[in-house]
Amino acid sequence: MTQVTVITGASSGIGAATARLLGAQGHRLVLVARRQVELDAVAAESGAEAVAVIADVTRRDDVRRVVQTALERFGHIDVWVNNVGRGITRLPSQLTDDDIDQMIQVNVKSALYGMQEVLPHFLARGRGQVINVSSMLGRIPHNPLRSAYSGAKHFLNALTDNFRREVQPAHPGIQFTTVTPGLVYTEFGSSTLHPGPDSRTFPGGQSPEDVAAVIATAIATRLPHYYTRPESRQAVLDSHAGEP
């Protein structure tokens, strides 16, 4: 059966690259973002059965509408990719209530809504997969300017693991997967809250296509954790080596 995959944040960057790759692999896609022109362009490049849905996934009602649209169009959902996220450029001593609220709304609640709204369908079918795109900053909080983003991604990682622990004992066919990239050459740096340097100018990054390939592998193999670089796991272990 052809996979039906929902991708949020699909109008650019990792989401757009993932849409193009999965479309080429034959997935039927529901692509979600707020920007109509950009999303339509990605859908046109992602296969004849790619559907563009304009929605703001920080709003639960919009997420529920995406689920309904996917089911009306394709009859089922196999994979839900939570890819929406936004960074911040502000030191922890300067963070405001609004800074924290925005980081949680975009990076945590958008994924929470996706997991909660698609889960009843997965439970009814007895199978399905959620993929949450996290960050190495959710494993190693080494950049003070990104502290609130880092904290939100730690929260996302915890939610993903705990959804798995809640659901899998009775429903082993439902998987919750975390994909953890490091620096990726997207608009992320220049579009942060309180804009900072363009991360595409930094050395040592990955392309969105590199990350998309890992997401495709995660769908094919359904393991719970993926780093997008082979050395990342050891870097995480090393970062905790001095702790008691």
59-108: pLDDT as tens digits:
999 999 999 999 999 999 999 999 999 999 999 999 999 999 999 999 99
Domain count, the chain: 1
Residue 101 lies in a domain: yes
**Residue 86 CB partners (closer than 8 Å, separation 6+):** 102, 103, 106, 107, 149, 191, 192, 193
Q: Which of 147, 128, 141 is nearest to 76 (CA)?
A: 128
Per-residue pLDDT tens over the stretch 122-160:
999 999 999 999 999 999 998 999 999 999 999 999 999
Give 113's pLDDT tier (boundaries 50, 70, 90).
very high
Which of 113, 149, 185, 227 is labelled catalytic? 149
Where is pLDDT greater, at 184 or 186?
184
State how far the Cα of 35 lies from the Cα of 9, in Å rounded to an integer: 9
Q: Which helix (H) or strand (E) is 80 found in, with range?
A: strand 79-82
DSSP 145: G
pLDDT score for 76: 98
Q: Can 149 be counted among the known catalytic residues?
A: yes
> Is the residue at 244 inside a domain?
no
Please check whether residue 107 lies inside any domain of the structure: yes
DSSP state of 203: T
pLDDT digits (tens, 9 = 90+) for 28-73: 999 999 999 999 999 999 999 999 999 999 999 999 999 999 999 9
| pLDDT of amino acid 205 | 80
CATH number at residue 224: 3.40.50.720
> pLDDT per residue over 193-225, tens digit each?
888 777 777 767 889 999 999 999 999 999 999
Residue pointed to by tokens 């798995």:
164
Report the pLDDT value the prediction gives residue 244, as an integer from 0 to 100.
Answer: 65
Report the chain's mean pLDDT, rounded to a whole number. Answer: 94
Domain that holds residue 134: 4-239
Reported as a pLDDT band with limits 50, 70 and 90, residue 1 is low
In angstroms, the CA 226 to CA 213 distance is 11
Tokens 């924290």 — which residue?
A: 100
Domain-embedded: residue 202:
yes
196 within domain boundaries: yes
